[in-house]
A and B are shown apart, each in its own frame.
Chain A
Amino acid sequence: MSSIQRLTSNALFILALAISYTLFTIGLAQTVTDIGKQVQDNLSKSPWEANITGKIQLPDGSSQDADFRVQVIPGKAAADTLLRIDFKKPSSLEGNFAVVSDKEVWNYLFLTNQVVIQPRAKANVQGLGVNLTGLSDFNQLTEKVNLKLLGDAQSPDGPAWRIQGTPKEASQGFASMEIVVLKSDPRPVSITLKDASGKAVADLAVSNFKRSALTPQALKKYPADAEVVKK
Chain B
Amino acid sequence: MAIGYQLAAISLAQSVTFGLDGRVAPDYLTPTLELSYPVQDITLGLRLQRDAFGVSAESALELGPVGRISYGGRGSLGFAGWGLGAFARGGAGPVAAEARLGYYSTPPANLWVGDYNPIQPVAAGFNGLLSGRYRLSSTQTVGLSAQYFGIFAAEGTFALCDQNTYTFGVGYQNGLYGLLGWRGEVAEDGSLLEVSLRAGFYNRLETLFITPLDDTNKLNLRFTVAYPWAAKLGVEVGNVRADAAFDGGWSLWLRYTLNFGGEE
Tally of chain B residues near chain A (CB < 8 A):
44
Contact between B93 and A92, CB atoms less than 8 A apart: yes
Name the interface residues of A87-107: CB closer than 8 Å to any CB of B: 87-88, 90-98, 103, 107
Q: Among B9-17, B111-119, B197-205, which stretch is in contact with chain A?
A: B9-17
Nearest 9 A-B pairs (CB), nearest first?
A127-B64, A92-B94, A94-B138, A224-B210, A127-B66, A112-B91, A124-B64, A224-B192, A92-B93
Q: Among A73-81, A114-122, A140-148, A173-181, which stretch is in contact with chain B?
A: A114-122
Contact between A225 and B93, CB atoms less than 8 A apart: no
B51 interface residue per 8 A CB criterion: no
Residue B11 contacts which of A85, A90, A229 (CB distance < 8 angstroms)? A229
Docked pose: A88 CA to B10 CA in angstroms = 27
- Which residues of B approach A to under 8 Å, CB–CB? 6-13, 60, 62-68, 89-91, 93-96, 133, 135, 137-138, 141, 161, 183, 185, 190-192, 194, 208, 210-212, 215, 218, 262-264
Residue A125 contacts which of B65, B94, B138, B262 (CB distance < 8 angstroms)? B65
Docked pose: A224 CA to B210 CA in angstroms = 6
A109 interface residue per 8 A CB criterion: yes
Subset of 12 A-B contacts with CB under 8 Å: A88-B138, A96-B65, A97-B65, A98-B64, A103-B263, A109-B67, A116-B68, A119-B263, A124-B63, A225-B7, A230-B13, A230-B262
A154 to chain B, nearest CB (A): 34
A12 interface residue per 8 A CB criterion: no
Interface residues on A, range: 35 or more
Docked pose: A124 CA to B94 CA in angstroms = 19
Docked pose: A10 CA to B135 CA in angstroms = 75
B13 to chain A, nearest CB (A): 6
Docked pose: A91 CA to B137 CA in angstroms = 7
A132 to chain B, nearest CB (A): 9
Contact between B13 and A231, CB atoms less than 8 A apart: yes
Contact between A230 and B65, CB atoms less than 8 A apart: no
Contact between A98 and B138, CB atoms less than 8 A apart: no
| Total A-B Cβ pairs within 8 A | 104
A113 interface residue per 8 A CB criterion: yes
Inter-chain contacts of B208 with A (CB < 8 A): 225
Docked pose: A93 CA to B211 CA in angstroms = 27
B4 to chain A, nearest CB (A): 12
Inter-chain contacts of A114 with B (CB < 8 A): 68
A230 to chain B, nearest CB (A): 5
Contact between B65 and A221, CB atoms less than 8 A apart: no
Residue B96 contacts which of A96, A112, A116 (CB distance < 8 angstroms)? A112
A111 interface residue per 8 A CB criterion: yes
Contact between B65 and A112, CB atoms less than 8 A apart: no
Docked pose: A116 CA to B63 CA in angstroms = 10
Inter-chain contacts of A226 with B (CB < 8 A): 6
The residue on A at minimum CB distance from B11 is: A229
Inter-chain contacts of B12 with A (CB < 8 A): 230
Inter-chain contacts of B138 with A (CB < 8 A): 88, 91, 94-95
Inter-chain contacts of B264 with A (CB < 8 A): 119, 122
A125 to chain B, nearest CB (A): 6
Contact between A112 and B218, CB atoms less than 8 A apart: no
Inter-chain contacts of A223 with B (CB < 8 A): 185, 190, 192
Contact between A225 and B68, CB atoms less than 8 A apart: no
Knowing A92-B94, A94-B138, A221-B190, say if A111 contacts B133 (CB, 8 Å).
yes
